[in-house]
Chains A and B, each alone.
Chain A
């Protein structure tokens, strides 16, 4: 274990700190991109989007739009000075299409004008001639035409075919899961402001400062050091601003470069929902063999993702699906195949969970079917198959500190599972149109970017002579409170109070080459980098402190025994004779000690061989499980969640209040995905639910009556900064428990003898149709 893995909790006194920006948020003073005062002469950009999912562009006539008074520029693919290419991992995505559109909603032209109204009017004057082509929209169509983003990927262990042949029971099936709209409250936005020379500052609502910088420079034919990306905070992102923010930033940058004026590009809600990619829908097939006791012996699964129009992050997302196809279960013989399909939907992209929820959903279906086949309780089957300490995943990584049997046991106790089962049976016997059911889902989630080199981060820390601190790091604050956690780490390392620290905006000039704030790694990576930076300062301050203690108080103490705490530095044997932090800093300054530090962190030991499908892609795993008690109204098909119980191992949480907020928020988001959030498109590939009046996310009325979250806090060897663990994504998967609860409720109609054919998400329509089918 390296130093970073030590499980010492930071010495932060009192209750967990509040949200670092909380006071500003509740007072309405926190600023998002479009809240900043407008720079003089700013233009507003609006986009013309392709009405067709796939069409040949025959001509684009911008003359009339350009002639409208108040229009500063009308831009198309012809106006891109650098490369018309915004792909990142794979370079397959143009800023503007030049010959063929690839999805409905793809920007074809941009207008920059003195007002949004003028820009919108001018967009209406652009004449584009298209020749409509037949789009590919579904996974089935893409597979038939062999439209894959890369050859299929494989992870294999053991001899699956032989194990299937030998198994007591074999089941097979197909499983589909739906897309999901991010519905961050702040829509996509960027302001581009020109500087002197070739400089442009992009105030972009992005999770990926370095990517926006790199690609904007490429598109404009400039260098990375011409472009500055600055992000103070995002109004939610959930993955939807990781890759998918780049295009809007590049468009704003292009308009700025062409007009040499500040430009604001902000999507309206309806544009954002109609044009941007979503969570990947999956269609998968499986074969599973198991013993008469219910132990899974063989699992062959093919995971097929609908990637949309460009590669985007689809290959990485598919990879995470494959690496989570086992979820919490040891599978001696496994064959995991993954395919990412090219279709003409907006490029599907990162969304909290990043493919893991889809991969996990398939094996959870298998667990339920094993239980039904054998007449066992699904919870028992899950516990039976759960990883034990030391067992390895199909890709060869040992599951250290595996604890699902224990966590599931805690869940059973917390929810009083046996009593609850009895109550549900009683309820169902006495109700005609209301039925209840229970769903349980355990989650094992690997933390790290599976692209190993992304697991690095930097921080820049300045201590000023008054004892206050400016802290920059590569993470983007988007409500997950990475800033609060990173500040806590630096404060603990320096022994100062949080209010001495100002966390600055994420800015490529202060922290370059930052990995996206994603994969639940924000606090691990940036917190570790900040700790490293703060440690350097501490080391430089220590000799000064030792000298001061001697001079002022006559105390002789070696540098490595000094205690930094409560804004003071002292010899722990003489806590009554400290040096105030501000005094120490000032003394260091006049003695020409460097008070600035750049910290760097790279996660040790992570690697993954894609060709072999083997390696140690994850720094550690997060473990937890959830139970949902659902009630279904068979008249309307509406379901409601009555109780939610969650047991989640947080290790040594940096801030339990933040972690609880992440768990609750992710659970409800996953619940929405599993129930009534439905992404639908028409036969021409146009999204139909593109406003919140048609696409419904959960409201406060969806809060369960009992929402019991147990955070299991304990020291774990496999963890990150100060013994903490990442938190953002794993709890989203708990939402699948709601789907299983609904299915369980419907199956009470046939006394749990046969399986309900319930679609995912379990919309009211899906519920009514499944119930009717089951009743025959």
Chain B
């Protein structure tokens, strides 16, 4: 099909400068320049360090994406960019760049929601999303359950973390265990040789009282502290810390709560599709547990491949082509970068004068 829109997507909500190019639901390019190595010694992403890296990487990353796709800007139908949520300073670099590319080329601009883009990216791998669907988005900055009735216009929050994001808990526990940042991959690896039932770590917001008020919310702060107490008690007693068992038991606790609440959300809403996205969706245990549990209830689980789960420009471009195809109006050149953009706002439409 030649009439499918081609969109260039720009993502700078955290530490990855991502530029992707998508035609319809076909991925043409997905180039990511990450500043993660510059943040490792700080144990977390430093916004100013990330913002500086975005400025340096922006134009070279756009050029690499165009070369990869074998296209020029003249072939692009629209520019999409993450307008939020995310880090204010890093978002602004991408938004300003996208506006300049749109203005210089005369192409429409779409300022889009980062969380909706994490949902949209799955269409590149598994085709159009059956609607309604429940989306579980878990990363270093977000842990949300969403109901997606219409990816172009209708996304509703069901619940979210009330303290740490799931990925943040992985980072902090990794540090505690002497594993590198970011903590997701090394914990996943360490857990392979550990016993996930070795230590009974707490499952946040699953007590009967919490399930009344916070049925679809998450809490990982107490889990993180419980792991710290357990490890410190071992160290004080002069005993070795069984890293593999701690990693596996921590990971089991996180995945247990995430999948239980996600499936509860699907069942309570009568929804048969569960989509999992965000960097933590790359976790092997989460993928396996979700698939196994969902199968019991006839729920179909969709998880994009790990390279599309972490922040990237292709997800922004994928949402962009969906918005163009759905006839959603573009954004004005005056849109802000909104670090707290509500999840219901899939795209920033042009202001009505």
Q: Do A and B come from one complex?
A: no
